[in-house]
Structure 1
Amino acid sequence: MHTGRLVRDARLEDAACCAEIYAPYVRDTAVSFETEPPTAAEMAARVEAALATHAWVVVEEAGRVVGYAYGATFNARGGYRWSTSVSVYTEAGRRRTGAGRALYTGLLDRLAARGYRTALAGVALPNEASAGLHVAMGFEPVGTYRRVAWKLGRWHDVAWYQRPLGDHPADQSAPPALPH
């Protein structure tokens, strides 16, 4: 673990830092298919929603938020309620520092504790760093959507990765645990 690194549950006051980290991905890359960076207020609403039903974690280094990861609804249909989509973002210059791995470890542990059984992640191609992180974290590639998103003047493919979060009991009569 990196000295001075802390992975913790996000707080609403982290939203501005998360929005700042995310904005270059939206503006300058096809890593995200959003076309306008969310405001700090919009990001705060996302943090609040994720904390209510899934999880949102941040990583701090030297007391400063330098990355985040979250779980969200994979599909709104009831049969999918044990599955979650996951995403991780770190500020520029944090590749191969262990921050992404630390974020995903904290996030996936929290999601499993809530009863989620499968994590799914979409990776816009090409993105060797993200693909490598997902494989290193135990995700396996399960397919690719071809030419599914348009951004920065061209079509992009999205590779999908999947990872188990826990046992899949034969009788899954109760949904994942949510806070009271």
Structure 2
Amino acid sequence: MVSESTEVQVRPGVEDDLEALTDLYNHYVRETPITFDTAVFTPEERRPWLLSHLEDERHPLLVATEAISNRILGYATASRFRPKAAYDTSVEVTVYLTPDAGGRGVGTLLYKALFEALTDQDVHRAYAGIAQPNEASDRLHTRFGFRHVGTYREVGRKFGTYWDVAWYEKEL
């Protein structure tokens, strides 16, 4: 599956993406409360995460690249929602973009491709936890039919501040 525009291509992630994806994620670890990870990863530490997505089509990893340079602009994943078997038909979805990719429609392209990839899977619901405030992510999820189902107040502490996480749900 490849989705294209004149500027951006969306494709399945591959093992060669590991370093760039790790660098992209580490930006959010170091600079933002968007992820609650607080220590950066080496590519080798991040490898199990990557391989888990490459080996399981129910939990895809999609990558957006610039069509000409092939530079990674972002990625989207579907992951296990919870480890217990009864949750197997639910996934948690997420999108991460490079700082310069916001507002270009990259997140939209990634989510379109991700939900298309999930169409033939035995997935009933998608969930997204969004650290607040994050208006761009709130808007993206609402645009894709997610509805706000609740907020965990001050559930995580990062950079000496407590952060809320809003939870969104989408029927698939």
Gaps of 5+ in 2: none
Matches within 5 A, 1:91-106: 91-106=98-113
Q: How has the CA–CA distance of structure 1 residues 35 and 82 changed in structure 2, closer, same or farther, with 3 Å as cutoff?
A: same
Q: Identity of paired residues, percent?
A: 36
For this pair of structures, how many residues does the alignment match? Answer: 165
1:121 aligns with one of 128, 133, 137: 128
CA distance in structure 2 between the aligned counterparts of 1:103 and 1:38, rounded to whole angstroms: 23
Structure 1 segments, 4+ long, off by >6 Å, are none
1:136 is matched with 143
Corresponding residue number in structure 1 for 2:60: 55
SS at the partner of 2:167? strand
Partner residue in 1 for 2:8: 5
TM-score by length of 2: 0.91
What is the alpha-carbon distance in structure 2 between the residues aligned to residue 155 and residue 51 of structure 1? 34
CA distance in 2, matches of 1:73, 1:138: 20
**Structure 1 residues 28-50: Cα deviation after superposition (integer angstroms, max 9, x where no partner):** 11000001122112223211102
What CA distance in whole angstroms lies between the structure 2 residues aligned with 1:30 and 1:101?
22
SS for the counterpart of 1:113 is coil
Instruction: Give, in whole Å, the separation in 2 of the partners of 1:58 and 1:44.
Output: 16
Mark the runs of 5 or more structure 1 residues left unpaired by the alignment: 166-180
Give the residue type in structure 1 aligned to 2:50.
V
Q: Please give the TM-score of this superposition, normalised by the length of structure 1.
A: 0.87
SS of residue matched to 1:138: coil
The equivalent of 2:84 in structure 1 is 77
What is the root-mean-square deviation of aligned Cα atoms in Å? 1.2
**2:35 counterpart residue number:** 32
